Each structure stands twice: as C-alpha cells, then as structure tokens.
Amino acid sequence: MQTWEFLVRKLVPIDDGPTPDVIRPVLREIKRRPASMLNPMDTAFEWVRPDYFKRARFDGPAGDPGWFGPDSAAWYVHMHTPSVFIGMINTAIIDILHQDIQYAVYDHSKLVGRNDDGSVRSGTFSGEGLGIRAGHTFSFFTGVVYGSTETAESLCRTVKAMHGKVKGQRPDGRRYDADDPEFFRWTYATVVDGLAGAHERYHPKPLRGSDLDQFYRDYTKVGEALGGVDLPATKAECQRVLVESPSAAQVGLNADNIKYIQLMRPPKAKLSKPFYNFGYWMIMDMMPPPVQQAVGFTQPSPTVLKNYRRLGKLMLNAPRALGELREVEQAKARVEDDRSRPISIPRSA
C-alpha cells in the first residue's frame, strides 16, 4: 500500500475495494503547471475534473448566460466554493438520516461500503463509489450554475433519468420512490437549504432577507427540471418542508445509519477529539431541527460557539482568497463581451 493510500484510509473508512486516487491527479497537475500550487482550491478539483467534467461546457457559446448568469443569486452563492462544499456534506448526512433516502442509497448507490456478498457494510464507504459520487455531485452543481444552457439542460436530463430508477422497499416494508413528489421535495429542500445555510454562516458578505430568497427562487429552476413540483421558493417555505412535512417523521437513527454518524465523533480519537468536535458541530449546526433532535445535538457554551463560528469562517475563507475555480473564470469570459466589465452582485452583499 502506497503512502497516499494509507493516509486516505486513515481519514476515511473504506471497504476492501480500491482506494480513491485523490492525490496523484493533483500531483500530476502541479507537475504540469507548477503555478497551480497558487490556487489549491482549483487544483484539488483535479481529483474529479478529468473524468466528470467532460460533458460540461463553460467556455461557450459566447454570450450565453446559462440558466442564471453572473448577476444572479445562484452565481453569488456558488462562487464561494468552500461553503458550497460544506453545504453538500450537510446534505449527504441528512440523506443517511432520512430512512427512505437511506435505504434508497443502500439499494442503488455505489457510495456505501459493501461486503463480498453485496450487503452494506455500515460505517464504511466504497473507495470507487466515493470518487464517483463526488465527481457526479461537483460536476452537476458546477455545470447547472455556471455551464452553458445546453450543459444545464443535459445534466438535468441525465440525473432525472437516473432518479427514475430509484425505487424499492425498506426492510420494514415501506416503499420508497425518488419520483414521489413528497420524497423529491424533502430531498430538494435539504440541498438548497444546506447550500443557503452554509452561505449565511461562512460567506464574508452573505445574502440576507429577500436577496437570499432569490437564491431559493433561482434553484427551483433546477428542481423543476429534475421533475419536482410545488417546491419551496423561500427560506421560510424550505424550513416548513424540513420541519413540518410528512417526510420529517422519517428522520431517525437505526442500527445502520448510526454508524455513519459515529464516524464524525470516533471514541478512540482522544488526541484529535477537539478537531472532531469542531467538525461535528460545523455540520450539525446547519441541520434542520428534526435532524438535530434525532442525534441529540446541543450547542456548546456561548464562548465555544463564538470561537467555533470565527474558526469556521477563517478556515473557509482562506482558500478562496487564493483563487477561483477555472470553470468560473471560463463562464465569466463566456458571458461577458468585455472581460474588463465588472460583475455586479446582489445588493445586500
């Protein structure tokens, strides 16, 4: 086992399959372009960019704003890539705690680790599946927000077709269907609220009030293209879905999904306990009340909470100061006739 494989397996519990190659693609890019070290956030995307961004076009056609354009709330929120990343992790955790979605993932996703007989090895991930999930997730959200109109439409058609196959039955006999309006509405709400929640907490100049609601309205275009109906179009509507809808009752711990929650606070991690405590808080702080209640989450003392918020902002804003994703730069150039024209941002920023 190579050193990078050992390190990855120390950080992420992976089944007996191959280790995701997250290091060598980055090193190859640095060797090809030494200047890429000055923009580590963009360079880190080399893990998934070559294989999963092939179908997404960002540099043309000239003048095409895509689905949203540079003046949109969607662009403004997504241009803070670190908070988008945290928002996506938040959504993934919620998925495993909602028992309809949990068993849909167990039955249809390559993400979870498996035993030799194909059964799920709870508390582990598939090395191959981890790369596939990350690649599809990042390419989808980057493509629908920054990509050309054709890119956004094509990505949504592909994902909608994939979701149409996600149907099955939980161990308790309850059936799930990714095309069910209630199932989809809950899943959609976790995504958009996770992105908005991370934006509010960690963006240096976050959108507020009606400007943030515009982000929720922007995103309904994506949800509707994926087949959603009656989607929440404001922060308040989204909160009602997450707290009051029938799906909220399906959030809970069981013998399988609790093992994934325990990964965030491993009992043997004594020396690194402060690190894990902070990471656990960072995710759970953004969760809707049903999820916080299910895991028994409580906020730390006011002093610790204040320091956590400061540390989170510092950590997530430092890498962005070093540069932006190349796809964002390509999209800006595609839209603008004159690259020197400044891009306006929503007024509350």
Query: Residue 155 domain-assigned?
Result: yes
Peptide bond connecting 20 to the previous residue in cis, omega within 30 degrees of 0: no
Query: Residue 94 domain-assigned?
Result: yes
Query: Residue 183 domain-assigned?
Result: yes
pTM assigned to the model: 0.88
Query: Residue 216 domain-assigned?
Result: yes
Query: Residue 257 domain-assigned?
Result: yes
CA distance 113 to 125: 4
Closest CA to 309 of 200, 212, 195: 200
Q: What's the domain range around 130?
A: 3-335
Q: Are 69 and 214 in contact (CB under 8 A)?
A: no
Please return the burial class of 178, using the count of CB atoms within 10 Å of its CB with bins 0-12, 13-18 and 19+: buried
Query: Residue 346 domain-assigned?
Result: no
Query: Residue 315 domain-assigned?
Result: yes
pLDDT at 338: 46
pLDDT at 4: 64
pLDDT at 241: 95
Residue-level pLDDT, tens digit, the chain, 349 residues: 566 676 677 777 787 777 777 888 888 999 999 988 888 888 988 988 988 888 899 999 999 999 999 999 999 999 999 999 999 989 988 888 999 999 999 999 988 999 989 899 988 888 888 888 888 999 999 999 999 999 999 999 999 999 999 999 999 999 999 999 999 999 999 999 999 999 999 999 999 999 999 999 999 999 999 999 999 999 999 999 999 999 999 999 988 889 888 888 776 667 778 888 898 999 999 999 999 999 999 999 999 999 999 999 999 888 777 778 999 999 999 998 544 445 455 555 4
Rg over CA atoms, the chain:
20
Q: How many domains does the chain have?
A: 1
Q: Are 149 and 66 in contact (CB under 8 A)?
A: yes
Q: Residue 71 to residues 9, 146, 299, 348: CA-CA distances in angstroms?
A: 42, 12, 36, 13
Q: Residue 35 to residues 31, 38, 43, 52, 316: CA-CA distances in angstroms?
A: 9, 6, 10, 23, 22
Q: Are 332 and 339 in contact (CB under 8 A)?
A: yes
CA distance 195 to 79: 12
pLDDT at 348: 52
Query: Residue 254 domain-assigned?
Result: yes
DSSP 265: S
